[in-house]
Structure 1
Amino acid sequence: MNSKDLIKRIFYGGLEHELRKEVWKFLLGYYEYESTYAEREYLESVRKLDYETIKSQWKSISVVQAKRFTKFRERKSLIDKDVVRTDRSVPYFEGDDNPNVIVLRDILLTYSFYNFDLGYCQGMSDLLSPILFVMRDEYEAFWSFVALMERLGPNFNRDQSGMHSQLFALSKLVELLDHSLHNYFRQADCLNYFFCFRWILIQFKREFEYEKTMHLWEVLWTHHLSEHFHLYICIAILKSHKKKIMEEQMDFDTLLKFINGLSNQIDLDSVIRDAEALCVCAGGNGAACIPPGTPPSCPVDLDAGLYDQQDDEIL
């Protein structure tokens, strides 16, 4: 089966859980589709050593050094706070002194050294959790997370430029595909579309059950119809609640509360079908609504910058 056939099958049918560990690596760009088994085995051995090298950078920091390393202390404190409240209802992470929570913390700390400029931001633990759940191995989860962050890293820019570009693209797509809904948001002074902020930031992670989130992510990662298919998912959800939103004359605060209240109440299969139809309908006009460079971009070569090295409450 070639990569196009695989991508199409995943988009329309998803994956059995036992296949995810291997296939997600291809979807994320961790592996190249044309790579051989021998090449992948060699890559694994290199990345395992590379991970340990990066991890040792923070593991070797003494208590005395940490006292003079404010950024490290701040990031570690934020990560420690976040991991203990990330997906603790999922059996893999539940319970006191769960070693998987420690691994989650270690990967995030290591990433904060791997990409020191970006560091750690709230929401990253949400993105890592399903990856660790699928990969199980620490170094594989780390490099898979690195691959995902090559796409989603701009979501966490301190100036929020990555988020603003996606919300702008979303507004243009809604204007194209549902002019009356867009006009309503204009009249309600909601054209910044910030009520969709959480959806985009962590890729609907808190809107669906764990298994459904993983299914949605692999659909998004295929880039089958668009590398910005997540924006069409947003529109499909909004359109499904259009009547209620407009009839109740929701303002921004009411709309934000309503949107957040949809968590675990959205029919994912229906939304994916509707988003597909919207994407096909939009066609080239839809693509033109999305400025070049708008996240998530296509995967990049992870090995090109192996050691290229904000903490606000946003969720």
Structure 2
Amino acid sequence: MTTLSPENSVSARRSASFILGLHPFVRTEAWKFLTGYYSWQSSQDERLTVDSKRRKNYEALCQMYEKILPLLENMHRNFTETRNNIAYDIQRLYDKDPLGNVLIDKKKLEKLLLLSYVCNTKAEYQQGFHEMVLLFQLMVEHDHEIFWLFQFFLQKTEHSCVINIGVAKNLDMLNRLISFLDPLFAEHLKGKGAGAVQSLFPWFCFYFQSAFKSFDDVWRLWEVLLTGKPCRNFQVLVAYSMLQMVRQQALLESMSGDAILLACFRLIDLDADQLISSACMVYAELIQKEMPQPLKDFFL
């Protein structure tokens, strides 16, 4: 039997989470490794120490937030506007299941989003974060775990879902990818479909949440993004695969940009494993070709 080195063992575990997916029973703990909350090489005692440190750091941030809250309210107009936006977004969330059982704590969610906005000056707050943090709240129990998992998730995915950081680049690379792999469709999009691709920004801002039929499917895709396999910026290959689902109809019916966009946003109840498989096939096709340098730099 071949013995794996520690480095290869870590790689094997990450690859397994990409290929097989994570069982719901292990998802909570596994996400702490995938996001970097814990080191893959850490012992149980080391993880207890790390968790204690993260809890204390979170509590310190909460205390800091309470102290500067009056200043934020009086001196920063953006804070008041953002707090109102967060409250509005959260109010629209369903907080109960069909049986009337409460699923989420909206007050807790609002607190976490405000704290993230104040502490994460790079990402700030944008519509969609409320639904993303909701999924973390459903996954883990404690406030400090929710907060740090969300922060590490943004960092691990290179802030690619943030409008003023990664979304525009994703859309640009999606356009380049279509031009490289599907010139016929690219030509159509430049004509009647002008602007359609640029209008797909909600896919990236929400990380495709609206396209799936269950939270498990969303987590499944996000887990793949966290592994960095089969390549960096896999989310763009996912978006390309979804566009291919409407391609034939768009060409046959000579659809306008608005019609293409509507068809794209009607893609719901997708199966994550099937979509991931389709995106992997796109990657396999991509690496067989001589990619232009911007695509190489982006994916490899």
| TM-score bracket, shorter-length normalisation | 0.7 to 0.9
- Name the amino acid aligned to 1:71: N
Conserved? CA contact 1:171–1:192, under 8 Å: no
Figure out how many residues of one structure are paired with residues of the other and give that number.
290
Tell me which residue corresponds to 2:200.
Answer: 196
Tell me which residue corresponds to 1:310.
Answer: none
Structure 1 residue 230 corresponds to structure 2 residue 235: yes
Superposition deviation, residue 166 in structure 1: 1.0
Structure 1 residue 11 corresponds to structure 2 residue 18: yes
* TM-score (norm: length of structure 2): 0.86
Superposition deviation, residue 47 in structure 1: 0.9
* Structure 1 residues 107 and 4: CA distance shift in structure 2, 3 A: same
Tell me which residue corresponds to 2:162.
Answer: 156
Superposition deviation, residue 46 in structure 1: 0.9
Tell me which residue corresponds to 1:308.
Answer: none
Conserved? CA contact 1:170–1:231, under 8 Å: yes
Provide, for residues 94-128 of structure 1, a one-character-per-residue CA deviation record: whole Å limited to 9, x for no partner.
75xx7622211111111112113542221111221
Of the three residues 128, 131, 149, the one matched with 2:133 is 128
Tell me which residue corresponds to 1:274.
Answer: 278
Tell me which residue corresponds to 1:172.
Answer: 176
Tell me which residue corresponds to 1:113.
Answer: 118
Give 1:28-43 correspondences, 5 Å limit: 28-43=35-50
Structure 1 residue 251 corresponds to structure 2 residue 260: no
- Name the amino acid aligned to 1:176: F
Superposition deviation, residue 152 in structure 1: 5.0
Conserved? CA contact 1:131–1:144, under 8 Å: yes
Unmatched runs of 5 consecutive residues or more in structure 2 = none
Structure scoring higher RCO (CA < 8 A, sep ≥ 6) equals: 1
* Structure 1 residues 62 and 199: CA distance shift in structure 2, 3 A: closer
Conserved? CA contact 1:76–1:109, under 8 Å: yes
Partners of 1:202 and 1:4 in 2: how far apart?
Answer: 28
Partners of 1:231 and 1:65 in 2: how far apart?
Answer: 37
* Structure 1 residues 90 and 122: CA distance shift in structure 2, 3 A: farther
Superposition deviation, residue 60 in structure 1: 3.8
Give 1:53-132 correspondences, 5 Å limit: 53-60=60-67, 66-88=73-95, 95=102, 100-116=105-121, 118-132=123-137
Greater CA drift, 253-262 or 280-289: 280-289
Aligned-residue identity in percent: 22
* TM-score (norm: length of structure 1): 0.82
